[in-house]
Amino acid sequence: MGSVKDLVVLRSPNGGLGEGIFEFSNRYSVFDYGEMPDKIDGKGASLCLISAFFFEKLEERGIKTHYVGLLEGDKVKRLDELEFATNKMKIKLVRVLRPEKREKYDYSVFKRERANFLLPLEIIYRNKVPEGSSLLRRIEKGEVNPGDFGLKEIRAGMRLEKPIVDFSTKLEDVDRYLSYKEAKEIAGLSEEEFEELKTLTLRVNDLITERVSRIGLENEDGKIEVAFDENRDFMIVDAVGTPDECRFSLEGFEVSKEFLRSYYRKTDWYEKIKRFKGQERWRELVGSPPRLPENLKNAVSNLYKSLCNEIIGRRFFDTPKLEVVVGELREVL
């Protein structure tokens, strides 16, 4: 299906909602490159379990999701029924419609169709503005301003007076940020639906923030994906609340995929990313990424597994506590 998850289709969504299995892999990706050369032990199962945890909590709050359950052998189970960690999740499937690529992307298909499809948006919530945030770069270029989000100011390092919702494309070759007007337009949403989508995003943000704050983490920002079900009701899809979808921090240290990006930003390979990304066949131009040092790879593995244990509140993996793992990572980096 993609660089970090595989999809087994059990029933196609073309005649209504389908059914499938996500297999969360130990692969990872940064900077939209695709599959990187290393694999992180335990990553797939950790992300699967964390996402299942948040899907089940969302459903308790009356929020629809595509989650059906977790696979242990051939049995579908809820998280509290599992005996062992699993990397397989049973889900409901929707259609993935694609904008037609011309001089500009043509999104008219999203106005013609009414239900059972993935919104062509990556929906982002922001609670804090870390150094190097893409939002700061957009403000510097004059692409957006704090007033667009109902704020008086946005500066590096600040915790926002209220969370904001931001949008980017999901189905283009290189993601680009969108104004509220363009996000609503390309997804074919009414004004009421667009406001409902923003409210839904903030409800997901609230749940994640509440949970991770209990273990000392700060939920700085994150993203979700949303689809229309067969009745044109919103439904949370893909994965949610994981360190690949969210930027968590513990006492200022990034406890998410962000520290992998930080590692690669120090390499010559990243300089090529900055130079070529967005050009035709840019992945070929930048070449193969460098491999991770073994001690960093092991520390990253422990981080994913420890996060899973502590977010869920159950010891699925035999790893040190999160604060110990973070201490190891600080030394390695």
Nearest to 121, CA basis, from 237, 16, 292: 237
Give me 249's structure tokens.
């921090």
Amino acid symbol at 313: G
Question: What is the CB-side half-sphere exposure of residue 59 using CA atoms within 13 A?
Answer: 13
* Residue 287 · residue 272 · CB < 8 Å: yes
Query: What percent of the chain has pLDDT above 90?
Result: 70
Instruction: Give the least confident one: 75-84, 106-115, 280-289.
Output: 280-289
Residue 262 binned pLDDT confidence (cut-offs 50, 70, 90) = confident
pLDDT of residue 303: 94
More confident residue, 4 or 79: 79
Closest to 3 (Cα-Cα) out of 44, 36, 43: 36
Query: Rounded to two decimals, what is the model's pTM?
Result: 0.91
- The pLDDT value recorded for residue 11 is 97
C-beta separation of 109 from 41 below 8 A? no
Mean pLDDT is lowest, of 55-69, 141-155, 225-239, 302-316, for 141-155
- pLDDT tens digits along 205-254: 999 999 999 999 999 999 999 999 999 999 999 999 999 999 999 988 88
Domain of 233, CATH number, reads 3.30.470.20
Sole residue written with tokens 């189905």 = 171
Taking only the tens place, the pLDDT of each residue in 13-42 is 998 999 999 999 999 888 888 888 899 999
Q: Which residues contact 331 (CB under 8 A, 6 or more apart)?
A: none
Range of the domain at 34: 5-332
Identify the pLDDT of residue 213. 96
What pLDDT is recorded for position 1?
A: 53
Question: Which H, E and C letters describe 11-33, residue by residue?
Answer: ECHHHCCEEEEEEECCCCCCCCC
More confident residue, 256 or 165: 165
Q: Which residue has the higher pLDDT, 2 or 215?
A: 215
Query: Residue 181: is its pLDDT beyond 70?
Result: yes
Contact between 120 and 226 under an 8 Å Cβ cutoff? The reply is: no
How many CB atoms within 10 Å of residue 333? 13
* Per-residue pLDDT at 2: 62
Q: pLDDT at position 145, please?
A: 87
Q: What is the pLDDT of residue 3?
A: 66
Phi, psi of 319 (to 5 degrees): -135, 160
Pairwise CA distance, residues 19 & 6, whole Å: 14
124-176 pLDDT per residue, tens = 999 998 877 888 888 888 888 888 888 888 888 889 989 999 999 999 887 89
Question: How far apart are the C-alpha atoms of 172 and 30, rounded to whole Å?
Answer: 17
Number of independent structural domains in the chain:
1
